[in-house]
Chains A and B, each alone.
Chain A
Amino acid sequence: MNRTFAIGLARAFGGALVFTLPILMTLEMWSLGAYIAPWRLVAFVLATIPMLVALAHFAGFEKTFSIRHAAVDAFVAIAVGAITAAIVLLLLGIIDTDASSREVVGQLTLQAIPGSIGALLAQSQLDKDADAKSEPEPGYGEEIFLMAIGALFLAFNLAPTEEMILISFKMTPWHAIALVIISLIVMHAFVYSLDFEGETSLPEGIPGWSAFLRFTIVGYAVALLISGYMLWTFGRLDGLSIDLMIVATVVLSFPAAVGAAAARLIL
């Protein structure tokens, strides 16, 4: 039992590293810890915890059947994420004695979140076979939840960067309209490929528009909401006019939509 847990923990650290190194080594994430509005950070953490518990329930590094178990797994994942972030940021000389305590706490809190998602995902990523036989088929709610995780994950890598708003400043509304349409097409290609993969009975059954409405459009709306929320949390929408807020959200929704659609294939 302890050995299983130790192996799971090692996997969790591996997952946290794989998933957070790009974020840990992003310039904007270092200063974000210092200038993020404290109550936005608190709201973000509070929103993250139930999400991690749900994720632990679906893909934890121990087989979890009860909510209590899932909650324990979620907090283990948070510890793994925070420790990974602390070690890497110290190692790279980003956290040093010049930094204020508020800055360090803000940085570690923020960076622990993608780390804990990575820790939980490590199980389904690195240990697919073990999962396959015991895991029940995902229901509709679960599928949308997994899409949200995928969207959150890719959005987290990109939302803090200056490029998101810079791109939206360079784009005209026509570019944005084209991007919405392309995002939907790319998403539907993923949804379509999943619906027909190994499901020989489906092609005659479901009309294309049904999968489009229930998965593609819903997944895209989820990507939009998550992108908007991430940009707002990271202060990227502050002082922008409404039209630029929407364009910036559409920009981030492109990778978020790809993440959402791919999550159904990968997770």
Chain B
Amino acid sequence: MTSKEPDKSSQDQTVRNAKVRRNDDEKIPVLEWIVAMVGVVITVIILGFLLWDATAGDRSPPDIAVQVDSISTSSSASGFLVVFHAENKGGTTAANVGIAAELIDGESSVESRSAEIDYLPAHSTRPGGFFFSRDPRSYKLTLRSSGYQKP
């Protein structure tokens, strides 16, 4: 290990010249410095972003909204599928997020389902689905989050 630069000269010469060449920054190829600058830029961007996030970032508690994406029109082997997505509008990640779904006929609940989402990170969404044995289109469908844990 004598040199970090590509070297066309012979091994012996490399050894002999190592000290001289290393002393002289002019001999380090411009490309190496360009690569170094790209590295600096990437690292500074990451650090800058983290600093901004640490000082001005959102630290609010989880705020979970659940929305229906689609309801299947026909019953499959597992029933009527309701596809939903849960969105965490808060600035803190929630774990083991409970999602509760209910079919309501007038005042009374006719069918209820629950699902759990492992992680619902801050300002992120996760999809999921419920199977109902009754057609959700004939009832009032409500979806909400029942709770979460700190990861």
Residues of chain A having any CB pair with chain B under 8 Å: 136-141, 143-144, 165-166, 169-170, 172-174, 176-177, 180, 184, 194, 197-199, 201-202, 204-206, 210, 213-215, 217-222, 224-225, 239-241, 243-244, 246-247, 249-250
Query: Could you list some 30 contacts between A and B, CB below 8 A?
Result: A139-B4, A139-B7, A140-B4, A143-B4, A173-B53, A173-B54, A174-B54, A184-B43, A202-B18, A202-B22, A204-B19, A204-B23, A205-B19, A205-B22, A210-B25, A213-B40, A214-B33, A217-B39, A218-B35, A218-B38, A218-B39, A220-B39, A221-B38, A222-B39, A224-B43, A239-B126, A240-B121, A241-B122, A246-B50, A250-B46
Contact B50 A173 (CB under 8 A): yes
Q: Does B46 contact A213, Cβ atoms closer than 8 Å?
A: no
Instruction: Tell me if B51 counts as interface (CB < 8 A to partner A).
Output: yes
By the criterion CB–CB under 8 Å, are B54 and A221 in contact? no
What CA separation (Å) do A244 and B50 show in the bound complex?
A: 10
Q: Kindly state the separation between the CA atoms of A224 and B28 in the bound complex, as whole angstroms.
A: 25
Bound complex: CA of A137 vs CA of B93, how far in Å?
49
Q: Is the interface of A mostly helix, strand, loop or mixed?
A: helix
Q: How far is the CA of A180 from the CA of B54 in the complex (A)?
A: 14
Which parts of B1-31 form the interface with A (CB within 8 Å)?
A: 1-7, 11, 14, 18-19, 22-23, 25, 28-29
Is the pair B151, A170 in contact by a Cβ cutoff of 8 Å?
yes
Residues of B within 8 A of A166 (CB): 119, 151
B36 at interface, CB cutoff 8 A: yes
Min CB–CB distance A210 → chain B (angstroms): 7
Known: A176-B50, A199-B18. A140 touches B32 (CB 8 A): yes
Known: A136-B11, A184-B43, A240-B124. 11 other contacts (CB 8 A): A137-B11, A139-B7, A166-B151, A180-B43, A213-B40, A217-B36, A218-B36, A218-B38, A219-B39, A220-B39, A222-B39
